[in-house]
Chains A and B, each alone.
Chain A
């Protein structure tokens, strides 16, 4: 069943995103997209490339502003906020896992994981403690001082996850997280995501990998095509 209003963590109303408006290469990435994300659920945005999944993700993740429409995150309308405030909300509420990890190669594991906390008011000691705890939880504490390029693919994936969780976000956003992973690592990731869901995190994943959208932990699937929401289906009980 649909969650009650107070479980609605995030919703959008008629969000539209147009790139290069009024120009010859104008592109409508999103067209009147309205969705709801409930607390503690795993939502999958499913669709082929070009369907607008990434654009929608970046808008609800407070990384960009829509051309039109409303975006409400934890009760606050963010569609019209300045970059500074948008970033503040993004920092506090979201953790991102990118398809290519997007870690900084020549920087140590520790520093990579701690980066989201640098522009905040957390002290050095607090950051160190949090990073140590997180790295330990994911079994890579021993490698914390190594440069990233010395780690294996799987270990790098874990560093990316630690970085996404370091600021204790309520919502985790993952964009095509399994696109560059082999089967083992993909399964590994799914297990971790399922654990996070158990722990109360809200997760939004954009993917066209059936391994994800057919997984047990997924609560809701939103199908997209050509920038539009085609279908929203709930988990089969």
Chain B
């Protein structure tokens, strides 16, 4: 076990967050079974008060969940020097492959937590708490995901042995490999560039449509396109954006861009991408909730902000990624 301060911080904070969520979930379950808003009984009033506690606990806990992804990636990258053969986060993750699972659970938790916070936001703004049941059921679904994430984190960090020689992104993201990563790295650059910019244009078009139209279809479209764009963007990072940043046609690693040597450009890229995709997912997810009359006006009002934020996020990501492609020293003309 490596007693690295970042690891200790991550584990301690994760344990605290887990405890807060478990307590909140316990209260949430009581609320779920006994909630009766029409009643003015003492029990109902006590439940309404407890609902505030759950909101506060979960908001703080999820606030950390959202940030912990960044902390995890930075820590994993920071410890790579302790392992033979590791040049970046990929190397550290390969030392104990459970680390990859942590990455997936963190990404999943991020999206789930953000959706819950949005649900809570609307529920509190309605006069009759229409989303109580949905909210607490959803919470009971998220808590196990966070628990699994914690379990994987402990298994990963406790299982790190510096003597293990690991392989790095060079072999993982090599075009010759028959893995998913390898396939992505091997995608033809010219085609991917076209596909990427086309996706950006289509997404912005869908967003604009959503801003000016009231059709439910527009909202679902934005959500679906947001998800698709996420996949295209990740593939693009691996297939061509990374090589322009590294100015090396064989370097496809999506993690090295988080390092100091590349001015930490990975952070604003990923933050704007994840932020943009997240806000893009909301309109479709919350469209069915407009059936609650007490929520309709509020959701419609906030929806516009989501779409604008999402478009800004995607635009930001596109600009940051395009800069090295357009103005970098690497020219791939003739290699397409």
Contact = CB atoms under 8 A, between A and B. Distances in A.
A20 B37 CA distance: 19
A85 B129 CA distance: 11
Say which size band chain B's interface belongs to. Answer: 10 to 19
A82 B129 contact: yes
Interface string A76-92: 00011111110000000
A33 to B, nearest CB: 15
A81 B127 contact: yes
Contacts of A68: 40
Given A80-B37, A83-B48, A21 B129 contact: no
B41 interface: yes
A174 B168 CA distance: 75
A79 B44 CA distance: 14
A65 interface: yes
A65 to B, nearest CB: 5
Interface string A35-66: 00000000000000000000000000000011
A83 B49 CA distance: 9
Interface residues of A, number: 13
Most chain A CB inside 10 Å of its own CB: which residue of B40, B42, B128: B40
Interface in B27-84: 37-38, 40-42, 45, 48
A83 B40 CA distance: 12
Contacts of B45: 65
B127 to A, nearest CB: 5
B124 interface: yes
Nearest to A19: B42
Nearest to B45: A65
Most chain B CB inside 10 Å of its own CB: which residue of A20, A65, A81: A65
B55 to A, nearest CB: 11
A81 B45 CA distance: 11
A230 to B, nearest CB: 25
Contacts of B37: 80, 82
Contacts of B40: 65-68, 79-80
Contacts of A81: 127
A21 B127 contact: no
A82 B48 contact: yes
Contacts of B128: 80, 82
Contact of B42 (A21, A79, A80, A82): A21
B124 A84 contact: yes
23 contacts: A20-B42, A21-B41, A21-B42, A65-B40, A65-B45, A66-B40, A67-B40, A67-B41, A68-B40, A79-B40, A80-B37, A80-B38, A80-B40, A80-B128, A81-B127, A82-B37, A82-B48, A82-B127, A82-B128, A82-B129, A83-B48, A84-B124, A85-B127
A-B complex: 9 closest residue pairs judged by Cβ atoms: A65-B40, A85-B127, A67-B40, A81-B127, A82-B129, A82-B127, A66-B40, A80-B38, A83-B48
